[in-house]
């Protein structure tokens, strides 16, 4: 279970951390005659730059890589290497002293990286807000009144400015750029990275699928259902849509909604070229969704996701599949349930804070009536070991494999809870969506 996915994810980590910087490090080692301490500092700085370039490449959301390891995993490596690059860059400044424009460009890059990293950790990831409740409340307040979604996206792009400063910083160091093998690799890495990012920005004008809003419906529980009908989409792109996937959408003609935002879809109608989204009004972008009028133009980037092709399709159909959904985390799992209810033994457990948040309750109950292999269960408030053991039979608990979907803190808690029942990490899968 999940061995192939974990192997590929481990390979991705290894390539990102070790393989990518290796040609630059090797070129320095063979071309420098400086003291060992100087070489060490330069190599540390070189690794930091290689990681910065890789972070930029990952931000282009390569679909082929997403289908292999998943975009959330890619973004986790993105964040890890971003922090690692800052640490190495700081060590580089301590070991290798410089002056003039060389020092100035290096210092500018470091301070920009520190600033954007601190902001991103608070506003674009759940590393702190998922673990410290009062910090989460402060961040949400600031997001509502000051740091809107578009602001956060643009501030994060300052990493590009920092990388350009580092590029100039290296160009100014004559004795480094005189190493031909290093200079060639340095230019090649930089060119490929900036070319891929430029293509990512420019190609969106024809790469994104185009759709129109044909229905906006209040589901209750602060949830809005939106149906999009594609007006322009390639046939090949249509066939890429799979259960459990998600898409990035933006509204090019609406203020403060022009930057992409990810949402899972409840269902996808291949024949009629329609997609059904269920969106809870948490952030400034998602709260505006309820006010959108029919006919509004939408840009769609996707699909993304690994729940179907990497997880569900690869598993033994005789092994029960347990879906633990929290709140709006039910959305991608509903799509999977609709697809596999006839083929697999599925136990769908939906936990919410309030009864009115079970907005697709009737759909799931009807599915359970029609399909003997599908079992729908629900719980008000989060599960604990006692509740779970009452809801699921012991044979299902011990022999099933698990898909978790919900808030990051919920999924971490459920993963810890499942271990108490002897469920190994290899039998549990979830995707984090706090990009």
Could you read off the pLDDT of 250-301 as tens digits, one per residue?
999 998 898 889 999 898 888 889 999 999 887 778 888 989 999 999 999 9
Give me the CATH number covering residue 416: 3.40.50.80
Please check whether residue 319 lies inside any domain of the structure.
Answer: yes
State how beta strands 246-250 and 209-220 pair.
unpaired
**What pLDDT, on a 0 to 100 scale, did the predictor assign at position 36?**
53
- Classify residue 40: in a domain, yes or no: yes
On whether both 295 and 314 belong to a single domain, the answer is no
- What tokens were used for 332? 């991608």
Mark whether 241 and 300 lie in a shared domain. Answer: yes
- Is residue 289 within 8 A of residue 298, CB to CB? The reply is no
123 contacts: CB under 8 Å, gap ≥ 6: 139, 142, 143, 147, 152
Question: What's the CA gap between 179 and 157, in Å, rounded?
Answer: 31
Instruction: Verify that 168 and 275 share a domain, yes or no.
Output: no
What is the DSSP track for 112-166? HHHHHHHHHHHHT--TTTTT-HHHHHHHHHHHHHT--HHHHHHHHTHHHHHHHHH
Question: Any idea what DSSP says for residue 96?
Answer: S
Q: Is residue 406 part of a domain?
A: yes
Same domain, 122 and 250: no
Question: Are 164 and 239 within one domain?
Answer: no
Evaluate the omega torsion of the peptide bond into residue 246 and state whether it is cis, within 30 degrees of 0.
Answer: no
Whole-angstrom Cα distance, residue 354 to residue 195? 48
Q: 350 by DSSP, 3-state: which?
A: strand
- 19 with 73, same domain? yes
Maximum mean pLDDT: which of 9-13, 85-89, 134-138: 85-89
Domain end call among 264, 289, 305: 305
Decide if 158 contacts 166 (C-beta within 8 A): no
Q: Is residue 424 part of a domain?
A: yes
Q: How far apart are CA 285 and CA 350, in angstroms?
A: 25
Same domain, 20 and 169: yes
- Please give the pLDDT value at position 4: 67
Strands 428-430 and 401-405: parallel
Residues 343 and 295 in one domain: no
Identify the CA nearest to 241 among candidates 228, 251, 253. 228
Q: Do the domain assignments include residue 281?
A: yes
Q: What is the mean pLDDT of the chain?
A: 86
State the DSSP string of 24-71: HHHHHHHH--S-HHHHHHHHHHHHHHHHHHHHHHHTT--HHHHHHH-H
Residue 435 lies in a domain: no
pLDDT-derived band at 177 (thresholds 50, 70, 90) equals very high
Output the CA–CA distances (angstroms, integers) from residue 304 to 94, 198, 332, in the order listed.
42, 21, 12
Higher pLDDT, 390 or 53: 53
Confidence of residue 154 (pLDDT cuts 50, 70, 90): confident
Q: Which two tokens stand for residue 253?
A: 């003609």
Contact 289, 200 (CB under 8 A): no
Quick: pLDDT tens for 213-238.
999 999 887 889 999 999 877 777 77
Quick one: 393 and 349 in the same domain? Answer: yes
Residues 159 and 289 in one domain: no
Q: DSSP label at 320? A: P
At 326-368, the pLDDT tens digits run 888 899 999 999 988 888 889 999 998 888 888 999 999 999 9
Domain boundary residue, one of 278, 305, 332: 305
Q: HSE of 153 in the Cβ direction (CA atoms, 13 Å)?
A: 13
Say if 217 falls within a structural domain. yes
> Is the confidence at residue 427, as pLDDT, over 80?
yes
Domain identity same for 324 and 382: yes
Question: Could you say which of 202, 233, 259 is where a domain stops?
Answer: 202
Q: What digits encode the pLDDT tens for the residues 62-109?
A: 988 888 888 888 888 888 999 999 999 999 999 888 889 999 999 999
Q: How far from each other are the two terminal CA atoms of the chain, in whole angstroms?
A: 26
Shortest CA distance to 190 belongs to which of 88, 83, 46? 46
The domain tally of the chain equals 3
CB-based contacts of 36, cutoff 8 Å, min separation 6? none
Question: Which domain CATH number covers 214?
Answer: 2.40.30.10
Domain carrying residue 268:
208-305
CB 44 within 8 A of CB 91: yes
Pairing status of strand 297-304 against strand 274-280: unpaired
* Residues 34 and 138 reside in one and the same domain: yes
């Amino acid at each position: 279970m999940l061995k192939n996915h974990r192997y590929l994810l481990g390979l991705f980590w290894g390539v990102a951390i070790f393989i990518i910087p290796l040609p630059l490090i090797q070129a320095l080692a063979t071309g420098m005659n400086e003291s060992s301490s100087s070489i060490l500092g330069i190599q540390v700085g070189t690794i930091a730059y290689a990681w910065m370039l890789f972070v930029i490449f990952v931000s282009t959301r390569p679909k082929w890589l997403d289908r292999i390891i998943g975009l959330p995993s890619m973004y986790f490596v993105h964040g890890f290497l971003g922090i690692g690059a800052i640490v190495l860059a700081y060590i580089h400044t301590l070991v290798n002293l410089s002056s003039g424009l060389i020092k100035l460009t290096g210092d500018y890059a470091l301070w920009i990286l520190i600033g954007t990293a601190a902001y991103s950790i608070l506003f674009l990831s759940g590393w702190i807000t998922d673990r410290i409740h009062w910090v989460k409340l402060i961040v949400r307040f600031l997001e509502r009144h000051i740091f809107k979604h578009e602001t956060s996206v643009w501030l994060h792009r300052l990493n590009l400015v920092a990388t350009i400063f580092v590029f100039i910083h290296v160009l100014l160091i004559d004795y480094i750029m005189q190493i031909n093998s290093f200079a060639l690799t340095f230019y090649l890495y930089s060119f490929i990275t900036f070319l891929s990012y430029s293509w990512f920005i420019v190609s969106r004008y024809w790469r994104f699928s185009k759709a129109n809003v044909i229905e906006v419906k209040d589901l209750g529980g602060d949830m809005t259902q939106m149906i999009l009908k594609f007006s322009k989409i390639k046939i090949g792109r249509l066939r890429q849509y799979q259960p459990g996937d998600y898409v990035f959408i933006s509204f090019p003609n609406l203020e403060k909604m022009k930057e992409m935002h990810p949402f899972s879809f409840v269902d996808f109608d291949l024949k009629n070229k329609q997609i059904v989204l269920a969106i809870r009004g948490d952030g400034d972008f998602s709260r505006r969704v309820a006010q959108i009028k029919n006919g509004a133009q939408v840009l769609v980037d996707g699909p993304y996701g690994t729940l179907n092709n990497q997880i569900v399709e690869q598993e033994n159909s005789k092994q029960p599949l347990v879906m633990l959904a929290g709140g709006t985390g039910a959305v991608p799992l509903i799509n999977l349930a609709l697809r596999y209810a006839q083929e697999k033994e599925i136990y769908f457990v939906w936990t919410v804070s309030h009864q009115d948040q079970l907005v697709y309750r009737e759909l799931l109950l009807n599915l359970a009536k029609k399909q003997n292999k599908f079992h729908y269960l629900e719980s008000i408030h989060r599960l604990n070991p006692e509740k779970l053991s009452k809801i699921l039979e012991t044979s299902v608990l011990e022999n099933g494999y698990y898909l978790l979907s919900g808030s990051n803190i919920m999924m971490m808690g459920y993963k810890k809870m499942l271990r108490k029942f002897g469920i190994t990490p290899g039998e549990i899968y979830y995707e984090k969506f706090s990009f």
